[in-house]
Structure formats: C-alpha cells, structure tokens
Structure 1
Amino acid sequence: MTAGKRAAAAPTALAEAAERVARLAGEHAVASEQARRLHPAVVDAIRAAGFARHFVPNEYGGTGGGTLDLVRALVVIGRQCASAAWSASIVAGLGRMAGFLPAAGRDRIWQHGPDALVVGSLAPIGRAVESADGWRLSGTWPSISVVDHCDWALFRAVVGGGPKQARVFAVPRTDFLVKDTWTTIGMGGTGSNTVVVDDVLVPHELSFLGDDLFDGRPDADQAYHRMPLQAVNGLLFAAPALGAARGAYAHWSGYAGDKIHNLPAKPLGPGPSRTFYATTLARSAGELDSAELLLERAAATAEQAAGPSPLEVARNARDCALAAELLVTSVNRMFSAAGTGGQSTTGPLQRFWRDVNSAVTHVGLQFEPAALGYAVPATEQ
C-alpha cells in the first residue's frame, strides 16, 4: 500500500540523478551511520548528480536550478537515507549562499568548476576583526554537516571594533580544524562535526553582509538571490525529513497490509484489530500527503518570477514548520503501531524514526518563531 501521490511530473536531470544517488545511499546507509559520516562513494555521487552546482550561477557552469526540482530530488534520496538527502540539501543550499560573495570571491570558490562542496553555519558565534588585508576570523561552530568532505565552508560571525554587525566569511578547508564530535542518535551519517577557526585571515572578497543573505538582494541577477532566506531555508531541512518519513511508510505499510488482510474482522482476543491498523495507515498517509503538499507549495512560491511577498515568505516558514510536525506525528504513530518488531536494529524503521525525530529539531523548523513571523504580516493584510 502506498500513500497518495501527486500528479506525475516529467523527470528532470536532477530527479533522475537522485534515483541513482538514492540506490547507492541506501546500500551504504547502515555503514554511513556507523561511521558517523557518509561513505565517500555517496558523496561523490551527490557531487556528480549536480546538487553542489544546483544553485551556482550559470556564468560559473552552474545549473541555476529551481527550488521545487530540488525538493523533489531530496525526497527521493531521503526515502533510502535521510543523512544523504540532508547532505545533498546542505551542499545545494550553501552553494546558493556562496553566490552572495563579491565577484572575486565567487571566482575563487568556483575556480575549478561549479561542483565545489560548500558547507557552513549561520550561527553568529564567531568573531572577526577587520585588518588592512581583510578580516581576522576566529570561532568554534558545532554541527557542520558534510564538513569532512567539503572544499569550502561559510561561517557567520560578529564584527568587532565598531557597530556590531554579522558578516558571512568563506574559508577554504585547509584553513580550519575539524573536531570529531558528532555522536547523535539520529542523522548519524551527516558527519555534522565541530569546526574551529583560529585567527584566520579572510580576504575582503571572501566576505559579505549577513543581511544580504537574510533579506535578499533585489538587484541580483539570479532569482534565488533576490528572495529572503526564510522563503527557502525550511525547505532544505524539511524535504529530507519528508523523504525519510516516506521511507518509513513504505516499510511499515507492508507490515500493516498483512495485518489488515489476515486479521479476522471480529477480534478473537486482546491485541490490535484490523481497524487499528487501517486507521493508523490512513492517518499516517494523509499526514505525509499533507506535509508534501505544504512543502511543494512553499517551493513553488519561493521560485515564482515576481518573488514572494512578505506574507508568502512568512507563510513558507510556517508551512515548513507545520510540515515537520506532521511528519514526526506520522512516523511516531507508525513506529508505535509496529510494536517490538519495528524496534529491531536490523530493520530500517527504527533508523527512519530516529532520523525524522532528529531532523525536525533543527532551528529552521521550529513552529513558534515561524508562527510569530507569520502573525505580523498576516495581521497587516
């Protein structure tokens, strides 16, 4: 049994490549989790599929791709391995952010081609001091996904020596230390380790104002550089979780189908009835479909030619957070209904369950700040 499906869309190059990544990621999912980082072959497949270049400007050989196309591709991979989907999302999203650098900085990032793997953190927990040659950057940033495989990383830091403002700095992999700290119960394969930058000189061309990223640049050539971060940020974290929830459903629905068809219409004793399994299946499937509809509308809104309005930007953040709640509710219900069999460490259900519950704790998917952000423009209409 399967959850309801949207009308089939013509496969794109990224979607077709995502199928290949998904198969490989699924084969290595258990090993990646045990190693606490993706298998190198999976990272190579993500790069070859075009995720790193998806939002890279055309002038550097990038795809200049769309948000909806990316979301659908991430769901495909997430059905097999949430960590691989999350990692593909990170390199696509941070590649978009690198496009805010000055031209000379972009030239350096993509000097060897559009497939440079860029990762990073927007937590403003570093410090930078301006010098004649650029900025002296120091700080410690936790939870940097895919950092062991990256070429560059972006870090947000507060500028000292004057009015405080946050800037984003691009640092090559050779200039920072990675500390092995990723030991979480879910999303283990993302390798989201800690980065330490110790008084590194960052040239002026490798930095830009953080406000440009959060507000968007109205005069930017690429549409995805004109939209505010909140229009797209939640999608990059919710789409892998949707994929993982779909993976959980694909596994659990087979088990539920056997129960529905084989249990007698009238229970013979204590224990769940066929109605229990039917109800669980229908509710869980409906929640997954609802989450998918919310995310696809948000993705289509983000890439519309005129750009999203302030209310649409806030609605996107709200809908991504709401979708995350639907996903974790659906997966938790299925996991509970699977009984002890679903908890077996040799089966995939417990991994999908852990991954979804971990993914939705990301700060970009919390409902309360999204609700507050939505309430102001909504009440001004």
Structure 2
Amino acid sequence: MLTAREDVGALPYGVRDVADGPDRLGPLLDAARRDARDAEDRRRLDGRVARAVVEAGFPRHFVPTRWGGAAGSFARLLADASAVAEACASTGWCAALYAAHGRLAAYLPEQGQRDLWADGPDVRVAASIVPAQGRASAVPGGWRLDGEWRTASGVDHAEWVLLASWTPGPEGVREHRVFAVPRADVAVRDSWDSVGLRGSGSNSVGADGVFAPAHRSFTLGTLLRPRPDAARCHRVPYPMVAGPIFAAPVLGAARAGLRAWSAEHAAGSPAQPGQALLLARASAGIHAAGLLLDGTAVRADRGDITPLAVAENRRDAATAAAMCREAVDELFHASGMRGQSPGSPVQRAWRDVTTAAGHGALGLDAAATAYAQAALADGGAR
C-alpha cells in the first residue's frame, strides 16, 4: 500500500494540477462562471451549462470502454470537478455526480447497461440512493416503484435516474436495491431551496407505479464486491471513492472563496497582522486539503485495495472537507459587512462549502470510527 509520503510525492501540488487542460475544460469553465449567479436564482443549471458538462466528458468519465466511455481515473475526475467548482460550485457538484453515477450504473446487468448506453456514453445520470427511500414491490419481470426520493442533484437535465429502496432479500434479510429508470418515467418535484449549492437542482423525484425490469437493478452490496476482471475504476469499492468525489467540489468552492477574499483585500491597504495570519492559515488549510485528496486519488487509481486503504480515503476526504469548511468560515466571518451582501462571492463560497461539506459521505465521525477500526485491526495507525 502506498504511504502518505509516496502519495504526496506522486502529485505534489494539489489535484488542480493533474488536469491543467484549459482547451478541454475552458468552454465549461466560461459557461459555468457566467451562469453562476443566475443558477442560484433559477435553482438549477442552465441548459447550455448542462450541455457543456457533457461536452467536457463528465458523464462518460467512468462509463466502460465497451460502451464508448473513458473508464477514467479518479485523479482526473477530482481535478476536473474541483476546477469546475472553482468557477461554479453547483456546476462542479453536478458534473462530479454525473460521472459518479455513470460509475454506479456500470454495476447493472449487461442488458441494463445496454439500455443506458447503447446509443453512446454521454448520458447524464442523476441518483437518490442513500438513504433508501420510496417503495419497491416485486412484480412479474421486475419491480414496481412508488413514492418519493429526495435530493437527486442535476435531475432536471438527466436522461436516467438511479433510485434505491429496501426490498426483501434471502432468508428474510432486506436488501438495499438500486433501480435505473428513464427520467421521463418519473416526476421531478421542485423542492430544492437550500442555503448553498442552490444551482444544483437537487430536487425530489416521484414515482407512481413505475416499472423497473429486473435487468435494471442491483443491490448496493454489489458495490462492495467489484468484478476482478473490470477496469481499475470499477474494481474500487464504493466506500473508498464516494468521499473523495463529494469532497472535490468542496475544495474548488473553497479555492474560489480564498481567491475572492484575497481579491477584495488586495485593492485596499496592506494586510494587518490579523489579516495576514488569517490568509496564511486559510490558504495553508485549503492547500493541505488538496494534498489529502491527491492521496485518495493515488490510492484509488493504483494503490493496494485493502480495508485500511478504504478507511484512509474516507478519513482523508472527510478531513479535507472539514479543513475547507473551517478555512472558508474564517474568511467569511472576517469579511465584515461586505460579506453580508447577497452578491458577495465570499458569502457564496461560504454557503456552498458549508452545504457541500455537510453531505453524509463526508461525515468525520463515521470516517474516524471506520479508520480507527481498520488501523487497529492492521496493527495500529501510521
């Protein structure tokens, strides 16, 4: 397994530098930056931005190569998602999740994958799979779905949706089962009005007797048992990479907040001692968060997949998000009345980082417990 020193040495300057591809990401960055404020008012991405996300390659990033996808690396995704989130946190969030959900859809049976990608890999997939919601009833040939699923980010622009419910399993043990359904088969309910990530359109999805064939379904436990003959990105267990994917937009939004705060103070008088200390501490914290995410990408892309490595990635992603949240919180509270303006970019970064870092996949307590258990079972932390 790679050590922390090897992780940092492999990617020395933070995930931003893995994906210095302005020609590739430039149109999306420009579109996201221009639409950021309107996306907040609209509470979803503009259609042109959603198309630019596709053109930048996010939905196809983890799609298997046999369907024309890239089966790409985690280092590339984390770098690209954080770069886009630096332009617009909501766009970066949706872009990262479109990629992540394409990876999850690759666990469908062969016919289910064909249903999604027979016409090409550029399919935007939204999801609401944790916690399990709604109701799934067994019917001949598959399942009937009813009820409501909350917070499906980017669902307004999705072609497919992954939904999860509890279903009866063998020996009376219930299973957390995931279903792929066409976006046209469900109703999107305008329910997203959050403090941050306002433009992500993380609305609710309603189903009334929607049929999901058996071949468009798999259990969440499948994500813990990757196929050994699959591409590397599909051999990594879900808990190892969920946290880093959610943390990447947090990092980008934090960098945006740091840049905005610095720009506001660069035009004024020289930094006072307290301001200098704040800037140094916040910038160091955000930089360190980027290095932690570098390490998670190295483990996921080419390290040994062990229980300890999985726990280390959970630990580092949750810690990176917490460091970004703490840094931006300090910057916002040091902005004075300027930060209270609705148009303040520092305030927007604070709201976005606070909301994104609060995602369950980035819970520090759960990550710490998992790490302690794995580290002690492996002979102790190091």
Displacement after TM superposition at 1:6 (Å): 4.6
Alignment pair present for 1:36 and 2:43: yes
Cα 1:97–1:134 change in 2 (3 A) is same
Match of 2:87 among 61, 77, 80: 80
The number of residues matched between the two structures is 364
Cα 1:11–1:302 change in 2 (3 A) is closer
The CA distance in 1 between the partners of 2:14 and 2:136, in whole Å, is: 48
Note the alpha carbon deviations across 1:142-164, whole angstroms, 9 max, x for none.
11100111100111111138531
Displacement after TM superposition at 1:256 (Å): 3.1
Cα 1:230–1:380 change in 2 (3 A) is same
The CA distance in 2 between the partners of 1:299 and 1:7, in whole Å, is: 9
The CA distance in 2 between the partners of 1:371 and 1:333, in whole Å, is: 24
The CA distance in 2 between the partners of 1:68 and 1:20, in whole Å, is: 21
Note the alpha carbon deviations across 1:258-317, whole angstroms, 9 max, x for none.
45xx34xxxxxxxxx71111101000000001100111110111111x642110101101
Residue 326 of structure 1 corresponds to 323
Displacement after TM superposition at 1:205 (Å): 0.8
SS state of the match for residue 124, structure 1?
Answer: coil
Residue 105 of structure 1 corresponds to 112
Alignment pair present for 1:238 and 2:268: no
Alignment pair present for 1:249 and 2:246: no
- TM-score, reference length from structure 1: 0.91
The CA distance in 1 between the partners of 2:157 and 2:375, in whole Å, is: 42
The CA distance in 1 between the partners of 2:259 and 2:13, in whole Å, is: 13
Residue 276 of structure 1 corresponds to 274
The CA distance in 1 between the partners of 2:84 and 2:313, in whole Å, is: 22
Residue 210 of structure 1 corresponds to 220
Structure 1 stretch 319-328 or stretch 15-24: which is displaced more? 15-24
Displacement after TM superposition at 1:347 (Å): 2.8
The CA distance in 2 between the partners of 1:220 and 1:127, in whole Å, is: 34
Q: Is the 8 A contact 2:60 2:70 kept in 1?
A: yes
Displacement after TM superposition at 1:131 (Å): 2.3
Q: Is the 8 A contact 1:19 1:76 kept in 2?
A: no
Q: Is the 8 A contact 1:25 1:42 kept in 2?
A: yes
Q: Is the 8 A contact 1:57 1:99 kept in 2?
A: yes
Alignment pair present for 1:164 and 2:174: yes
Q: Is the 8 A contact 2:16 2:83 kept in 1?
A: no
Displacement after TM superposition at 1:9 (Å): 4.7
Q: Unaligned regions of 5+ residues in structure 2, if any?
A: 1-11
The CA distance in 2 between the partners of 1:18 and 1:182, in whole Å, is: 27
Displacement after TM superposition at 1:132 (Å): 2.2
Q: Is the 8 A contact 2:145 2:208 kept in 1?
A: yes
Note the alpha carbon deviations across 1:11-51, whole angstroms, 9 max, x for none.
566x6433321121010001111000001110000011100
The CA distance in 1 between the partners of 2:37 and 2:151, in whole Å, is: 20
Q: Is the 8 A contact 2:15 2:293 kept in 1?
A: no
Match of 1:363 among 360, 365, 368: 360
SS state of the match for residue 185, structure 1?
Answer: coil
- TM-score, reference length from structure 2: 0.91
Match of 2:200 among 190, 205, 211: 190
Residue 146 of structure 2 corresponds to 138
Cα 1:140–1:363 change in 2 (3 A) is same
Give identity over the alignment, percent: 37
RMSD in angstroms over aligned alpha carbons? 1.8
The CA distance in 1 between the partners of 2:132 and 2:36, in whole Å, is: 32
Alignment pair present for 1:89 and 2:110: no
Residue 236 of structure 2 corresponds to 227
The CA distance in 2 between the partners of 1:7 and 1:50, in whole Å, is: 18
SS state of the match for residue 149, structure 2?
Answer: strand
Displacement after TM superposition at 1:175 (Å): 1.1
